[in-house]
Amino acid sequence: MRATSGIPGTWTTLLMGLVTIGALATFVALPPEPAFAERIVGTSGADRIVGTKKPDLNAVDGQKDRAVNGGPGNDVCTIDKADLPVVKYCNTVKVVNSGGGGVRVCVVLQEDKLQASRASRGLRAQAGPTFSPAFYDTTITLNADADGLDDSGNLPISINQVCDVPKSLAKEALQIAGGDGVAVIGPGTQVFQAGKLLQGQAATTAVAGADTVAIRARLKHPGEWGQDDEGNPVPTFTASRITITD
């Protein structure tokens, strides 16, 4: 005899529904995996921007942000100039200047990375940086610590920031940020201090006693570079203008 009651079918439908609900509940209950955005972009307000493990943080919005935190990982943070004092935990900082002549950036290493870079300068010198013809043709600004004039009358420097770099050449600028350099001073080099143009012995004395400088310069080709005490080549620049900042 065939069963004609609707009860078995009802139970089957109910059980299948419970199984489905259970599966959905299991799916929802699973702990979520961490989600990391590939790019973080600031808004036009005073943001507090915190990065992720992805190496790309863009806080350029034309405004001063409350904080820019690169977060974990090997981060490259692109920021407005006004954000520079509030940047933390960025391996490399690019400061965007949106004036005429296209977007130009400052390439900066954060303090911990700066120390590590200087500690490994010998290895980097042996590897030998490479630059494009466009980089050699570009006048950049080096914000640097000065170390007095050498016997040739040139200025050894420790480079803290490389600025006024076309955005397309920023990766090349990273090769000299945090390293040593030599600024070649010639008859055409202008020296400024406190907004005043210095000349002759006054200029020489001021540069010799400077602690920090901003140098407008072009990188020479490696065949014209000087050497450090260990014989490693040191990036050498033709200085067109030196501004004594301290």
Q: How far is CA 130 from CA 43, 126, 143, 200, 234, in A?
A: 36, 12, 21, 36, 13
C-alpha–C-alpha distance, residues 38 and 40, integer Å: 7
Beta-carbon contacts of residue 130 (< 8 Å; ≥ 6 apart)? 175
**Phi and psi, residue 63, nearest 5°:** -125, 160
Exposed, middle or buried, 42 (CB in 10 Å: 0-12/13-18/19+)?
buried
Q: What is the pLDDT along the chain (246 residues), one digit of tens a residue?
A: 444 444 455 544 544 554 444 443 333 333 333 333 334 445 555 555 444 555 567 777 777 788 877 776 666 778 877 777 777 777 777 777 655 556 788 888 755 544 554 445 544 445 568 999 999 999 999 999 998 999 999 999 999 999 999 989 999 998 999 899 999 999 999 999 999 999 999 999 999 999 999 999 999 999 999 988 888 899 999 999 999 999
% helix / strand / coil in the chain, to the nearest 5? Answer: 30, 35, 40
What confidence score (pLDDT) does residue 152 get?
Answer: 92
C-alpha–C-alpha distance, residues 223 and 39, integer Å: 40
C-alpha–C-alpha distance, residues 165 and 157, integer Å: 19
For the chain, the maximum distance between any two Cα atoms, rounded to a whole number of angstroms, is: 120
Annotated domain spans of the chain? 120-244
**Dihedral sign, Cα of residue 46, residue 214, residue 102, residue 73:** negative
Exposed, middle or buried, 195 (CB in 10 Å: 0-12/13-18/19+)?
exposed
**Dihedral sign, Cα of residue 71, residue 76, residue 79, residue 84:** positive
**Dihedral sign, Cα of residue 200, residue 202, residue 203, residue 204:** positive
What confidence score (pLDDT) does residue 245 get?
Answer: 94
The pTM is what? 0.64
> Do the beta carbons of residue 213 and residue 224 sit within 8 Å?
no
Q: Which residues pair with 50 in a beta bridge?
A: 69
Q: CATH for 120-244?
A: 2.40.50.320
